[in-house]
Amino acid sequence: MAFDSRAYEAGVEGETILTGAQVAYRITSLLMSAVAMEEIFEPRGMNRSQDRTDGWVGGRADTWRGHWQENPASRAGADARRMVEDETYAAGVAQTIRDRDTSIAHAGSAPLASAGLTVEPLSPGIGVIVHGIDLASPTEAQVAEVWNLLMERKVVFFRDQGHITRDQHIEFGKCFAKVGLAFGRQQALAAGNNSPDDHPEILKLYADEPRPFAASNWHSDVTWSNRPPLGSILLSRKSPPVGGDTVFVDAFALWDSLSPVLKEFFESRQANHGRAGRNEVTHPICRTHPVTGRQALYINPTFTNSICDMDPAESSKLLAQLYAKMYSTPEHACRFRWSDGSVAMWDNRSCQHYAVGDFWPHERKMERVTLLEPVTEDEVPFWLDAEGNRHYGELLTSEEEISTPIGMS
């Protein structure tokens, strides 16, 4: 496999420069050792997030002392050491977190209040329930605040919206972006894609006893397309009495929690994505969000087949280790309990999701509207290098893009 010529590992007193051969040896060693997972990800997501001032990503101070003792050469360890030794610094970080949590919990900003909205955060980093809005007739101020919340919180939830019609569902989506057909940009949909004849923009995701279905796999929607959708708006027409929750994970936090060695290794790399094991497109593993500028880890076990220019066996091992850690850190996730009329609206570029398939034999009837990215090259997935240059993926098989989707997105 081909490696970049240099990579960096942060130390307590400075940086140690690793040669390409050392990086190759380090990565190979990680693949062979389950006990080295803390070298793939910073311990428990406790590293300081790049260009952020709100303290820790993910976990809190219940474990940072142990991070310093176990991993003194990591960035998390270096920062945790300062937390232990400098009470003034620790107090400042603590107050910053308290202030942020107060802001999240109350969201008492003037724009939200003037729009008649209140919010209920589901976690410190991702997910918020918005109250005080009727999706059938939102005001311009409410639309603007919902968009701001979506950019900040990655996924926004609403309750008691079961009265909205399919037309109103679509019109609400158009407040934010163009609305595509069931899977986004496809211009032709074959039978079996479950779109109502009179509303091809709606994707019906219905499950019952004879037809059990749930997207019970971690994924970001339609990454097998060269232009994956901006986001989705999912409405529950009928929810099971228990079970059927959806879990969302923060892709920014996943990237922030990577070790410096892995970040350096992945920043310039692409991954193959496709359906049914076919390589259809490539996307950057590190994706830069076109609105916020933040970096996200952009791989998923449903549609990502392999890391480009890497031995297939080694690629599979590395992806398996990454997935095992990505989806086992609850500090980076939120879980939403559905009820009839609930709505989830997520940013496909900054989070992934998993529909928990534990509700059989009960019924679960969901309807989804897909939001399209603007048709400009700036909105194709890209990563931004240190010089500010954008690096895009490559379309490998163009005819697949508008053909019948295989499986579920």
Each of the 409 residues of the chain gets a pLDDT tens digit; together they read: 333 333 333 332 333 444 444 555 555 555 545 445 555 555 443 333 333 333 333 333 334 444 444 444 444 445 666 777 778 877 887 787 777 777 666 555 677 878 889 999 999 889 999 999 999 999 999 999 999 999 999 999 999 999 999 999 999 999 999 998 766 655 444 444 577 778 888 988 888 888 777 778 899 998 988 889 999 999 999 999 999 999 999 999 999 888 888 899 999 899 999 988 888 899 999 999 999 999 999 999 999 999 999 999 999 999 998 898 889 888 899 999 999 999 999 999 999 999 998 888 999 999 999 998 876 666 788 888 888 888 888 765 444 444 444 333 3
Burial group, residue 378, by CB count within 10 angstroms (0-12, 13-18, 19+):
exposed
Pairing state of beta strands 351-355 and 246-250?
antiparallel
One-letter amino acid for residue 27 of the chain:
I
pLDDT given for residue 370 in this prediction? 93
- Asked if 127 and 202 touch (Cβ cutoff 8 Å), the reply is no
Could you identify the residue written with the tokens 């977190």? 97
pLDDT given for residue 371 in this prediction? 93
Those residues whose C-beta lies under 8 Å from the C-beta of residue 171, and which sit 6 or more positions away, are: none
Token output for 59: 């976990």
- Asked if 34 and 45 touch (Cβ cutoff 8 Å), the reply is no
Question: For residue 348, how many C-alpha atoms fall within 13 Å in the half-sphere facing its CB?
Answer: 25
pLDDT given for residue 193 in this prediction? 55
pLDDT given for residue 346 in this prediction? 98
pLDDT given for residue 335 in this prediction? 96
Residues carrying CATH 3.60.130.10, the chain? 107-250+328-402
**Where does 107-250+328-402 sit in CATH, by number?**
3.60.130.10
pLDDT given for residue 393 in this prediction? 83
Cα dist. 293→6, 115, 272, 325 in Å? Answer: 24, 27, 23, 24
pLDDT given for residue 408 in this prediction? 38
- Asked if 253 and 351 touch (Cβ cutoff 8 Å), the reply is no
Token output for 317: 């091992």
Nearest to 57 by CA among 284, 247, 296, 268: 296
